[in-house]
Amino acid sequence: MYQYDEYDEMVVKERVAEFRDQVSRRLSGALSEEEFLPLRLQNGLYMQKHAYMLRVAIPYGVLSASQVRMLAHIARKYDHGYGHFTTRQNIQYNWIKLEEAPDILEELATVQMHAIQTSGNCVRNITTEQFAGVAADEILDPRPLAEILRQWSTFNPEFAFLPRKFKIAISSSAEDRAAVRMHDIGVYLYRNDKGERVLRVFAGGGLGRTPILNSQVCEDLPWEHLLTYIEAILRVYNRYGRRDNKYKARIKILVKALGVEAFAAEVDKEWRHLQDGPATLTEQEYARVARYFAQDRYEVLGAHDSMLEKHLAENKRFSQWVKRNVRPHKVSGYATVTLSTKPGAAMPPGDVTADQLEHIATWAEEFGFGEVRIAHEQNVILPDVRLRDLYSLWLRAVDQRLATANVGLLTDIIACPGGDYCSLANARSLPVAAAIAQRFDDLDFLCDLGDLSLNISGCINACGHHHMGNIGVLGVDKDGEEWYQVTIGGSQGNESALGRVIGRAFRAEEMPDVIARLVETYCQLRLEDEPFSDTLLRVSPEPFKANVYRQAAAPNESIPCPR
């Protein structure tokens, strides 16, 4: 993974000093809260219901074991012993004291970490997929360009006060696992017919109040123009994006207002001035960054391991876990493991304790090359596990409640912290997630059901990406009460789609039944292993709505078997 040199070290050190000074000016009253607000946000510090929340950047979801240990240390020393992995591959702590925030940043800087631009109206953490560098279907490793973008966006002086937040994702696999189409800018890196690296650039996507998939603005931009082209997009947005209404300030509204052709033409006009300028990337810089991501420590191993096959045959729970949570690796004899942070009702999705983090760090070293990834689905990935180690890893992950075999299943719930913590939320997310997890605690049933995504957001800001879920739940406030609106038909990947609302909202206690009825309808209507989205497209939302809104059933209605 990327290692800081003296320049990168200096940037985070100087940031700590600057932020320490800003905090002390706030505490002394020299800065008003209004003036401090954007400064603390640009450093990931939110004021929440009970305390400050600090969001620490995990650039494109990549962590080293020593960084994971530092995250555990911070959870223990400055928080209540846990952290929460977010839907943008970051981690946040919910119980932070303002006066301690600079000390936390100073500790983070010792392991090359920071909280720069994890919030605020600026370019946020650059995200990519959790399997970058190891996925069997990868075209090119997206991480070098993600790191180059991270550096370019860090304290970019022109774009520190954009109309609204700005999220960039980059992907380079046959299957898009980075939700590229949901981002303000989505970049797809591939090779053209001549074998050259080129970029397909999309702009104007985003969730929130007006969810929109982004539109293609450039088909085959040579990779070296990445920074100048993105600068052109941002300049057009910075100058012409709306600033009068927070809910109309994202770039998606500008792209929609101008029309994608006119927007792309405007960007192109701007880019002609920047094209081939000094920000044009060089092969040398690409190589400098890319070498940090090259992994040459793989052993030469066979594609099969007899002990593994024996365990698979003998242990159903292990075999279920391998089926759901273990993915093929591009290197023979290796696999990629996803540790689920969703063990069920007892733990909010994405939450991990300091103890769990320390175990994860140990496993990363013992069963891999000391590297960990965070998925936007809020799970933790060990990218390089030898097949022969899978069983021992599983046993230890079971002990730490990190081996729930539910990756991609209904209980792999993606949820924001919601009204329990967040002051923006209209409703709580976590009790709803817990009630649904409790209702669907039969893993065999879920495994038979197969892939089905459920996303929960506590407000329209959509941190739980509810529009992307096959089933989406949005908390809304009606006269001071919590209600939940349900969408169906969302999906990520190459066939990205946004979910649509099915009808009137529900009370929290109705939600497990509502989900059960959607699942029931799906089970009744699907053909063989047909994915949820395909069934929905084929039969229309009507049967789902009819079943959900029929007269209330008796308590504890049963769910039929999926097959």
Stretch that binds another protein, among 16-24, 127-135, 323-331, 360-368 (CB under 8 A): 16-24
Assess 491 for contact with another protein (CB under 8 A). no
Locus of tokens 């069963």: 367
Instruction: Catalogue the long-range contacts made by 13-17 (C-beta closer than 8 Å, 24 or more residues apart).
Output: 13/109, 15/43, 15/105, 15/109, 15/114, 15/116, 16/102, 16/105, 16/106, 16/109
**Interface pick for another protein out of 3, 5, 306, 551 (rule CB under 8 A):** 5
**Interface pick for another protein out of 65, 148, 207, 516 (rule CB under 8 A):** 148
Is residue 220 within 8 A of residue 208, CB to CB? The reply is no
**Interface pick for another protein out of 57, 168, 281, 308 (rule CB under 8 A):** 281
The nearest distance, CB 235 to another protein, in angstroms, is 5
- Residue among 123 and 385 whose Cβ is closer to another protein: 123
Q: What are the Cα distances from residue 481, in Å, to 235, 416, 433, 508, 510?
A: 42, 19, 18, 10, 14
Assess 66 for contact with another protein (CB under 8 A). no
- Residue among 273 and 310 whose Cβ is closer to another protein: 273
| Residues 36-65: x where in contact with another protein by CB under 8 A, - otherwise, as a string | --xx--------------------------
Question: What phi and psi values does residue 501 have, to the nearest 5 degrees?
Answer: -65, 135
The nearest distance, CB 4 to another protein, in angstroms, is 11
Q: What is the chain's alpha carbon radius of gyration, rounded to the nearest angstrom?
A: 23
Assess 30 for contact with another protein (CB under 8 A). yes
Assess 319 for contact with another protein (CB under 8 A). no
Assess 157 for contact with another protein (CB under 8 A). yes
Question: What phi and psi values does residue 349 have, to the nearest 5 degrees?
Answer: -55, 135
Assess 243 for contact with another protein (CB under 8 A). yes
Assess 22 for contact with another protein (CB under 8 A). yes
- Residue among 6 and 314 whose Cβ is closer to another protein: 6
**Interface pick for another protein out of 155, 190, 293, 298 (rule CB under 8 A):** 155
Assess 107 for contact with another protein (CB under 8 A). no
Is residue 168 within 8 A of residue 253, CB to CB? The reply is no
Q: What are the Cα distances from residue 19, in Å, to 169, 345, 419, 463?
A: 27, 38, 28, 26
Assess 543 for contact with another protein (CB under 8 A). no
Q: Is 101 exposed, middle or buried (0-12, 13-18, 19+ CB in 10 A)?
A: buried
**Interface pick for another protein out of 53, 105, 113, 227 (rule CB under 8 A):** 227
Q: What are the Cα distances from residue 511, in Å, to 415, 491, 538?
A: 15, 20, 25
Assess 481 for contact with another protein (CB under 8 A). no
Tokens of 507: 């009370």
Q: What is the dihedral of CA 71, 75, 76, 81, to 10 degrees?
A: -130
Contact positions vs another protein (CB under 8 A)? 5, 7, 10-11, 14, 17-18, 21-22, 30, 35, 38-39, 121, 148, 151-152, 154-163, 227, 235, 238-239, 243, 273, 277-279, 281-282, 285, 288
